[in-house]
Amino acid sequence: MKPVEKIWINGEMVDWEKATMHVLSHVVHYGFGVFEGIRSYEQPDGSAAIFRLEDHIQRLLNSAHILRLECDWTFEDWIRACEQILKVNGLKSAYLRPAHMSGYGKLGLAAIDNPPVSIVAAFEWGAYLGEEGMKNGIRAKVSSFQRNHHNAHMLKGKVNGMYVNNILAKREAVDNGYDEAIMLDTAGYVAEASGENLFVIHKGKAHTAPLANVLGGITRDSCFRIMHDMGVEVVERLIARDELYIADEVFMCGTAAEVTPVREIDQREVGTGHPGPVTKEVQARFLDAVHGKRPEYAEWLHPVT
């Protein structure tokens, strides 16, 4: 991570090095907090635009609502903070990290009155699964760690502590020489990757796990629209593990990973072992859209003026 000048904390712009919180903060110990990952992109005229900012902020507020984590900052306040953090740091293509966390006070679990800490940081972050992966596809492993059950962890929220599950899966995959982990739900169906939703292309149709047991990804939703515009039918349904092995194409999508092809799963080639035509077209349209080269998706871009 390359430091920049400022981080927005509770309404103030604080120097990067001074952006600290108390080691006894509730979130540090129990992960009781929520966060977002958002990207901004430089546009053809040299300005910056934030991809689906309003949807991300709404999801942040929904996540806080699910946890019943009080938030005094309004929807508009968060939008302004995201715009300001880019401007103050002179960033255009960046990754933004808003978070709203249970702060310092009581260390007992309930800690209802602990004042929350709200932050928005932004910094440069290249292709999450690597440039090579974006181009030629990544290698993935079905994880031995199951996706949290939706009635154990609240999967519609991006909750800090919940990511221990994802980290275990990701580390297991990386330790075994893979790029990413694919997690099955507690019934054994394909859920999602450690930080991405997943699409399986088979016989011209796209298939993806139903929303009940995955994060409602904003990139996932964008891919729905793109594939609809391409004339590719998208079906939400339970997917068995071995369907991954016989798929024509598989791709992952998320804010960090954007649209990344998967070329191998559990040492089995996916399709031809190279990114397929549907994946390549979705990726190209998505990247054009975020870079302001597709007027039909202009409403996804929040200009930073």
Ligand X SMILES: Cc1ncc(COP(=O)(O)O)c(C=O)c1O
The catalytic position among 158, 203, 205, 280 is 158
Task: Compute the distance between CA of residue 47 and CA of residue 237 in angstroms, rounded to an integer.
Answer: 40
| Site residues for ligand X per CB under 6 A | 37, 166, 192, 195-197, 215, 217-220, 254-255
Q: Smallest distance, Å, CB 101 to ligand X?
A: 17
* In the complex, minimum distance from the CB of residue 214 to ligand X, in angstroms, rounded to a whole number: 6
**Among residues 286, 283, 284, 282, which one has the least CA distance to residue 301?**
286
For tokens 């070329």, name the residue: 263
Q: Which is nearer to ligand X, 52 or 263 (CB)?
A: 52
Is 106 an annotated catalytic residue? no
Q: In sequence order, which ranges of the chain are alpha helices (DSSP H)? A: 26-30, 53-67, 75-89, 131-136, 163-175, 218-230, 241-245, 277-290
Alpha-carbon span 150 to 154, nearest angstrom: 6
In the complex, what is the shortest distance from the CB of residue 256 to ligand X, in angstroms, rounded to a whole number? Answer: 7
Closest to ligand X by CB, 1 or 23: 1
Nearer to ligand X, 255 or 283 (CB): 255
Q: Which two tokens mark 223?
A: 């891919």
Dihedral sign computed on CA atoms, order 63, 65, 68, 73: positive
- From the CB of 78, what's the least distance to ligand X, in Å? 16
* Min CB(5)–ligand X separation in Å: 26
Q: Which of 235, 267, 261 is nearest to 249 (CA)?
A: 261
The string of DSSP letters for 233-271 reads -EEE----HHHHHT-SEEEEEETTTEEEEEEEETTEE-T
- Let me know the angle formed at the C-alpha of 84 by 301 and 20, rounded to the nearest 5 degrees: 120
8 contacts 91 by C-beta, under 8 angstroms:
no
Is the Cβ of residue 33 or residue 217 nearer to ligand X in the bound state?
Answer: 217
Instruction: Report the residue number, 107 or 187, with the smaller CB distance to ligand X.
Output: 187
What residues are annotated to the active site?
A: 158
